[in-house]
Amino acid sequence: MDSITGTSLGGSDDLCVRIDNEDCPFVISSIMVFKDNLDIELIRDQFRQLVIKFPRFRSVIYGGTFWSRYKWREINDFDVCDFIETRQLGIGNLEELKECAAKCISETMDLDQSLWRAYAIYGLEGGKCSALVIKVHHCIGDGQGCMHALLSLTSDGHDQLLERIKFFKDKNSFLSSESKIQTSFFTYLMGFLYNFLLFMVMIGYALFEPIGLIFMSICSRQNLKYVGNVKYTRKTLNWTEEIKTSDISIIRKTFGVSFNDVLVTIITRAIRIYFTEINDLLDEELMIFIPISSRVSTNLDCNNSAIVSLKEQTIEESIKHVQKRMNELKKQNFASYLIYLFYEYWPIPGIYFKKMLYSIQSNGHGVITNVPGPMRPLTFAGQKVTKFVVTPPQNFPGGLGIGVVSYAGKVTCSIYEDIMPQYPNISKRIAELISEEFEIYLKAAKKLD
């Protein structure tokens, strides 16, 4: 196997290192729950296979400067035992597991060490069950890439993931003709000009940072902002009850939309209701970052943010509105080309000043990632996986990290967020509202069917 030592990080991977924030580490995480206790030695054996197959997991980054990108260096005496930890629950209920997982995910990693960790958690349900939390820095791979790597260690996992990706593509190919937006050359041109202006703003920001800070503060979100100089260090993690993919298909077919459209609509509605319940709906629109495809490390398609309305809408209006925004997002490949060139081939990586990037990220309310998972149950280290959850990184302190993953015919949505007193029970309540809103949309779809 060829060594990756001395290989430069791709454009997006290098960027992920530079925007890493100790308040919200730029990591992708997964939580697997098992019906029995895991054997720690078997876990270590599984990860020994992982680092052999994927050399980034046994490597460190080095050499990143204002003028040059970071590079990979493989560790010759790498020992997976240094990166696998154990945790013991006290009460052993689901709430304690979520709290423990949130703490594991939020712990910062030393950039001088390999950028992944695994946590075996014991004591769940009176000591009968266990869980495994795995977090991987985004510079190692995106959500889809990390899913490929980790599922390669489970029974039939890698092949199932490929099947699932095809399943989602097939589902999206049966959209009604109304959903297929015809993008004119004028639209492409406007998108290109918009991104060119954004490019100039980024350069101007880097050169005239004080003015840039004022500009970004005007454009930034009002909801989910830190108050004053308070720094919140604790995180909260919750996830929804399992949603049947067959029920999502009913909504999808009734309204002629995609799987992703359904989930983004319901998540958006849940967020709106939460802000309304606490009498704090300040923004009229929700800006969310949504990865829309599997990408190699050198492909930095910047069309991954969408703005959806937070205004009151009927069920059909809301789902069609999201469908339109998602399709616009997918159709803007040409418009992102200039930005792609900037990030991928710009000779001075240091131009991405942290404060500039943080300000741009802070405009968004959160990240929603939809990862197609296995269609059949898996086993890991000899134990059956009964629950599978993923979480993306937060875009910025205060931003929501929302992970959507399918597993064995069911979907789970996770909510990862800072614990902020002005937003009480935010992750738990939004998770509850997603389940409640889904039932409302499902009932409406069945009525129209």
Name the least confident of 205-209, 333-337, 354-358: 333-337
Task: Please say whether the dihedral angle defined by the alpha carbons of residues 246, 251, 257 and 262, taken in this order, is positive or negative.
Answer: negative
Q: Which two tokens stand for residue 91?
A: 């009460």
Domains of the chain as residue ranges with CATH: 11-168 (3.30.559.10), 176-370+387-448 (3.30.559)
Q: In a 10 Å sphere around its CB, with 0-12 CB exposed, 13-18 middle and 19+ buried, how is residue 105 labelled? A: buried
Q: What is the pLDDT of residue 160?
A: 65
Residue 343 has pLDDT above 60, yes or no: no
Residues in CB range of 14: below 8 A, 6 or more apart? 8, 64, 69, 70, 139, 349
User: How many residues are given for the chain?
Assistant: 449
Q: What is the pLDDT of residue 293?
A: 47
Residue 110 has pLDDT above 60, yes or no: yes
- List, for residues 210-222, the tens digit of each pLDDT value: 444 444 444 566 7
Top pLDDT among 297 and 93 is at 93
Residues in CB range of 186: below 8 A, 6 or more apart? none
pLDDT-based confidence at residue 327 (cuts at 50, 70, 90): confident
Mean of pLDDT values over 422-437 = 96
Distance from C-alpha of 369 to C-alpha of 366, rounded to nearest angstrom: 10
- Range list of β-strands (E), 397-442: 400-407, 410-418
pTM: 0.83
Give the rounded percent of residues in the chain with a pLDDT score beyond 70. 73
Give the rounded percent of residues in the chain with a pLDDT score beyond 90. 47
Residue 338 has pLDDT above 70, yes or no: no
- List, for residues 254-271, the tens digit of each pLDDT value: 999 999 899 999 999 999
Distance from C-alpha of 436 to C-alpha of 439, rounded to nearest angstrom: 5
Distance from C-alpha of 260 to C-alpha of 404, rounded to nearest angstrom: 9
3-state secondary structure (DSSP) of residue 163: helix
- List, for residues 170-194, the tens digit of each pLDDT value: 544 443 333 333 445 555 566 566 6
